Amino acid sequence: MVAKSLTKLIDEAIFPALTLVVAKMLGLLLSAFFLNLPFEIKAKAIFGILPAINFLNVSNYITAENYSNLAMFLAAAIGATFVLIRAYFFHESHVHPNLQAKLAALNLENIIAPSYHLYHQALIWLIFVWMTVGFLVVSTFLKITYPAISVVAFILAANLSWIFAIDVEKEIEITKTYQ
């Protein structure tokens, strides 16, 4: 059972990890483009295969880095929020019968998800949210990320975790009731 759950967690982690990498890179490139921050791309600079982006001065780098950090955190928070909304409203163990009937009438019953699937997804997204918060805090101590971004990220991550805890508690109460 533990091996199956661990495999499920690894499987669920692929999409969020790719989402964060793409959000970080898009945030960096879009901020450089829209804020007219001069930069150059060096081919094969990282590990001999990956390109590197170099900004002409430190202030341009810090500006672009802040926007890309914000984009990365927002991607993690949006992903976690989506999964938590699904867990709260479309959880198979506590979906309201009226909502289930409406979804059945619209042929959207596949939106309803089991606990096993939802909790693995929520756990992975929340881990990525907290890893991003940790990254932001370290960047703040290194004077790269603005402190306000880290504070807001921490508050949002704490609230998302609290919502997840409420849903888990609700699931435990439902399980106790039916045993």
pLDDT at 36: 92
Q: What are the distances in angstroms from CA 10 to CA 4, 13, 115, 135, 177?
A: 10, 5, 17, 21, 32
Q: pLDDT of 82-122, one tens digit each?
A: 999 888 877 677 667 777 777 777 777 777 777 677 888 89
- Reported as a single tens digit per residue, the pLDDT across 147-171 is 999 999 999 999 999 999 988 888 7
pTM score, whole prediction = 0.84
Band of the pLDDT at 1, cuts 50, 70, 90?
low
CA atoms within 13 A on the CB side of 124: 24
Average pLDDT over residues 17-27: 93
In angstroms, the CA 35 to CA 113 distance is: 42
